[in-house]
Amino acid sequence: MISFLGTGLLGSSFVRALIDRGETVHVWNRSADKARELVQYGAIPFDNPADAVRSASHVHLTLSEDGAVDDVLERASPGFAKGVMVVDHTTTSPALTGERVKRWDARHVTFMHAPVFMGPPNALAATGVMMASGDRARFDALQPHLSAMTGKLVYVGSDPARAAAIKLLGNHFLVVMGAGLIDTLALAKAMGVPQDEVANLFEFFNPGTMIPARLARIRAADYANPSWNLAMARKDVRLMTQAAEAGHVTLEALPGIAAAMDAWVAKGRAADDWTVIGTDALE
């Protein structure tokens, strides 16, 4: 039997997929109605997390943040069966995740953090990416169970906090990318370019293919051999800013980049590759 604590959008999709694969699933959620909604799919709801986990071989958590994880684990712990494996899919602090693993190891409870790059449709279809880190033998024991829940399961190392850190890196990139797209649409509005034409741009211009080469250049810190020097990049940013201002549109991400560029131009680095602006952060 499997127990799922936290049945929001992601958790409820995991539960439905497990039931579709023939598993018996006990569920609990802080808002009890969300757990009861899963009865129609065959889940068994409980009002108390300790009752929900009783006799479970695997306990999964999909909660909101670190405080909720610690609270729910404590409330559930009286029901933990001997040898239970607890898997937390919540996006959490790397430091607090590492402490959590040590704390539950001391209490002889097998705990592993396994955050995901998965939305509800991925959880329902067992696609997307799940990561895990920590003791390798623990991961190997969990691998068959976790692999069935996702399209790709990735072990990212023995440090129990590493999966939490990698998850934050991925989410950071998604936030920055989203902010860039918002700025791109805002700039298009300022210049009178319809959104459909912005979408069409990415039909023939795929910046994703540039990421490995750009990352390699940034890591090499070879600023003296630019592919796009800072002066030219700053000129383009000026044109973007002017177009936005003329169209009475506010850009959210670009002003911070422009300020960093100006600071490095003032240091005499205009002829260097524009990624020189990351020198202080990456050294």
- If you average pLDDT over every residue of the chain, what do you get? 97
Task: Say yes or no: 172 and 151 in one domain.
Answer: no
281 against 202, higher pLDDT: 202
Average pLDDT over residues 190-200: 97
- Could you tell me the two tokens for 57? 């071989």
**Residues 7 and 76 both lie in one domain:** yes
Determine the structural domain holding residue 264 and report its residue range: 166-282
Residues 223 and 84 in one domain: no
Which of the listed residues 110, 129, 158 is the one where a domain comes to its end? 158
Report the share of the chain in percent with pLDDT over 90: 99
Query: Can you give the pLDDT at residue 281?
Result: 87
Residue 170's pLDDT band, with cuts at 50, 70 and 90, is very high
| Number of domain units in the chain | 2
| Each residue's pLDDT tens digit, 114-125 | 999 999 999 999
Are 150 and 173 part of one and the same domain?
no
Q: Report d(CA 131, CA 115) in Å as an integer.
A: 6
The confidence score (pLDDT) of residue 168 equals 98
* Distance (Å, whole) CA 162 – CA 12: 26
Q: How far is it between the farthest Cα atoms of the chain?
A: 67
Average pLDDT (166-187) is 97
Q: 104 with 187, same domain?
A: no
Statement to judge: residues 113 and 12 lie in one domain: yes
Tell me, what CATH number does 200's domain have? 1.10.1040.10
Task: Tell me the average pLDDT across 180-188.
Answer: 97
Q: Over the stretch 31-74, which tens digit does the pLDDT of each residue have?
A: 999 999 999 999 999 999 999 999 999 999 999 999 999 999 99
pLDDT at 11 over 90: yes
- Report the CATH number at residue 103: 3.40.50.720
Residues 91 and 138 both lie in one domain: yes
How open is the CA angle 18-23-25, to the nearest 5 degrees? 80
Question: Could you tell me if 144 and 205 lie in one domain?
Answer: no
Whole-number Cα distances in Å, 219 to 216, 261, 279: 5, 18, 10
Structure confidence at residue 112 as a pLDDT band (50, 70, 90): very high
pLDDT of residue 153: 98
Flag whether pLDDT at 159 surpasses 80. Answer: yes
Taking only the tens place, the pLDDT of each residue in 67-89 is 999 999 999 999 999 999 999 99
Q: Which of 129, 158, 187 is the last residue of a domain?
A: 158
Q: How far apart are CA 203 and CA 28, in angstroms?
A: 44
Q: What pLDDT, in 10s, does the model give residues 232-245?
A: 999 999 999 999 99
Same domain, 176 and 142: no
19 close to 42: Cβ distance less than 8 angstroms = yes
DSSP assigned state of 31: S
Count other C-beta atoms under 10 Å from residue 128's C-beta: 16
Is the pLDDT at 283 greater than 80, yes or no?
A: no
- Higher-confidence residue of 281 and 170: namely 170
> Of 124, 158, 192, which residue sits at a domain end?
158
Q: What is the number of residues in the chain?
A: 283
Give percent helix, percent strand, percent coil of the chain, each to the nearest 5.
60, 10, 30
Rounded distance, CA 178 to CA 125, Å?
A: 25
Task: Tell whether 129 and 181 lie within a shared domain.
Answer: no
Instruction: Say yes or no to pLDDT of 265 above 90.
Output: yes
171 in the same domain as 148: no
Contact 188/197 with Cβ under 8 angstroms?
yes
State the DSSP string of 38-90: GGGGT-EE-SSHHHHHTT-SEEEE--SSHHHHHHHHHHHGGGPPTT-EEEE-S
Residues 176, 147 within the same domain = no
